[in-house]
Amino acid sequence: MTDVTRFTKAGCIAASMVVLAVLAVVFLGVCTVKIPADQFGVRTLLTSSGVEEKDHPPGYVLAIPGLHIVRAWDITWTDLKETLQIRGSDQYTTTVDISVLLRIQPGMCHKVAKSYENEDHVNKYARTLLNKYANEILAQMRTEDFYNSKIRDAKVLDAQQRMDKELNPLGIEVKNLLLRNIVYDPKFEQQLLSKQLAGQQKSLEMSKGKLAFAQTETELIQRKAEAEVKSIDEGKRQEIENLTADNERKITEITQDAKLTAASITAKAEGSKRQKIAQADLLKAKATATGTELLSRAYARPGATYYFAKQSLEGLALGEVELNSNNFNPLEMEKLLKALGLDLKARAKP
């Protein structure tokens, strides 16, 4: 095979690829529709089949001209706002800004496409319902109910639930119906101002009454406290005096008891002393009597006279003694002692 043939074949292949690429680009541009990242696509067959029961995610969707129509639907939340004038049950007109959040439920774009042409058509119908239920339900309120959050929130929730009940079967979700910037009727404002002033005046008078009552209560409490303190002080003083008197009485009793005890002990000691002295005197007398008795017995023994004479003589500090033997016999001891001034018989007497 020649080089020319080879080059011709390669050129054909390259040309074919270019043609295919061009055809693919043309096909993508003509036969597909690009769905943005925040939307879903709904394809409608231009036949008896109508809308397909499917939501196409973001990306490219096949749409053959003359056979398919693809529409993108936004599923993000939309904030619808309306300014309404509500004529309340008390015939005053209240102007309110009302808003509601709504969106097409995920996976329900094909269902919405069967009833509405686009999001604007959906929003228009939602505004109609918002006006309807807001005027119908909020008109049941009196003007003063608009600043009563409990009543106001209950009515707003009722209107939201009514809208959701009608739109939910169509694939539309309703959430957070809110009231803002409530402007009251000028006539009601004046009446409300007068009422508020009267209420404030009444509250002021009540506050003054409460203040006076509180002051009276405070004074009574203060006086009661002072009386209680005085009573407590008096009670403490009396208690201290009673304790002092009781202590003095106990001290007196203890002193008297101590004196009585001391006197009793002293008397017992004196009696014991006298008894001991008497016993000692008795023992002494008994000892003397016994000694005398024993001495008498000793005197009565043979030779005792000579023994005592000897003892007597030895006890006398005499120098030389001269006796006249002419008058008595020196061997007669009794006469000799008598001559010396010692009378043994006299000493032997008790």
pLDDT tens, N- to C-terminus, the chain (350 residues)? 555 455 565 666 665 565 555 444 444 455 777 888 888 888 888 777 778 888 888 888 877 777 777 888 888 899 999 898 888 888 888 889 999 999 998 888 888 888 888 889 999 999 999 999 988 898 888 888 888 889 999 999 999 999 999 999 989 999 889 988 888 888 777 776 777 777 787 888 888 888 888 888 888 888 888 888 888 888 788 888 888 888 888 888 888 877 887 777 877 877 777 787 888 787 878 777 777 777 677 666 666 666 666 666 566 555 565 656 666 565 566 666 666 555 555 554 44
CA 184 – CA 143 distance, rounded (Å): 7
CA 145 – CA 141 distance, rounded (Å): 6
CA 337 – CA 335 distance, rounded (Å): 6
Contacts of 339 (CB under 8 A, 6+ apart): 323, 328
Per-residue model confidence (pLDDT) at position 281? 80
The answer to whether the beta carbons of residues 81 and 178 sit under 8 Å apart is: no
For the record, the structure tokens of 164 come out as 């959701």
Residue 2, φ and ψ in degrees, nearest 5: -80, 165
* pTM as predicted: 0.47
- CATH fold group of domain 78-184: Tetrahydropterin Synthase; Chain A (3.30.479)
For the record, the structure tokens of 49 come out as 């089949």
Per-residue model confidence (pLDDT) at position 350? 43
Per-residue model confidence (pLDDT) at position 182? 86
For the record, the structure tokens of 187 come out as 């006539």
The answer to whether the beta carbons of residues 75 and 102 sit under 8 Å apart is: no
CA 185 – CA 111 distance, rounded (Å): 43
> DSSP letter string over 207-269?
HHHHHHHHHHHHHHHHHHHHHHHHHHHHHHHHHHHHHHHHHHHHHHHHHHHHHHHHHHHHHHH
